[in-house]
Amino acid sequence: MAQYNSAESYQLPLNVQLQEQYCFSNFVVGQNQEVVDALKQMVQVQPATVCIHGQAASGKTHLLHAACGLAQSQQWTTLYLSFKEPSLQSSVLEGLEQYQLVCLDDIQRIAGQAEWEEALFHCYNRVIDAGGNLLFASRQAPKALPWILPDLQSRILSALVLLLKPLNDEQMAQALQLRAAQRGMSISDEVCNYILTHMSREPKSLFDFFDLLDTTSLSAQRKITIPFVKEVMQTNAE
């Protein structure tokens, strides 16, 4: 992934993908209606700060993009930034007050790093002072992160903090089928049930395995059936 040296350049690829891939309409809500409602509401009121947290692959990134998409449909200026990118520098947080909605993903990756915390502290103040909204996402609850800057910690904890609850088997099967549909594929209920029965229920493991299935089926020019899933499982276990 290319390094982005400014907020504007980081935003560009997002505008192409938001509406099609990451919408509230294709998010499997499960027990998370409160979270979805809160994010939809924050795109109506300024200023506001919200922090969502949950395990890997629980839908945090999907929801941040969906919020950006909804805000853009209302003519808001938006920016999405993930701290997963290892080459990012703290200067990327400068100038973000020009956006009405700033979504910052994976904040757990910068907690405990003095330079990043200082930059985020000033970014937070500038965005809120300008009347903008901040939406954070983290794997851990914000109070559990190793903050070293008390003023930043107090601001993050002042946000509306919401936990994304895990999906049950039926909802996870629906999520897998939606993921397939987004790629122009279809998988049967029987295949989904087989995967859920024979794989870890942890979302990241399930989605990683589904991505492997997708890649392997395209390479082999085969449909995703139970026999094919068995083969991939056996190969992957070797």
Q: Are 206 and 196 in contact (CB under 8 A)?
A: yes
How many Å apart are CA 68 and CA 78, to the nearest integer? 6
Q: Are residues 74 and 185 in the same domain?
A: no
What are the two backbone dihedrals, phi and then psi, of residue 36, each rounded to the nearest 5 degrees?
A: -60, -45
User: pLDDT per residue over 29-78, tens digit each?
Assistant: 999 999 999 999 999 888 999 999 999 888 999 999 999 999 999 999 99
CB 164 within 8 A of CB 59: yes
| Residue 65 CA: distances (Å) to CA of 104, 218, 220 | 10, 27, 32
Counted domains in the chain? 2
Is 2 within a domain? no
Both 69 and 148 in one domain: the answer is yes
Residues in the chain: 238
> Does 156 lie in the same domain as 86?
yes
Total-model pTM = 0.80
pLDDT exceeds cutoff 70 at 203: yes
Q: Average per-residue pLDDT in the chain?
A: 87
Which residues sit opposite 82 in a β-bridge?
Answer: 105
pLDDT digits (tens, 9 = 90+) for 110-124: 999 999 999 999 999
Domain that holds residue 141: 7-163
150 and 84 belong to one structural domain:
yes
77: amino acid identity, one letter: T
Residues 133, 184, single domain; the answer is no
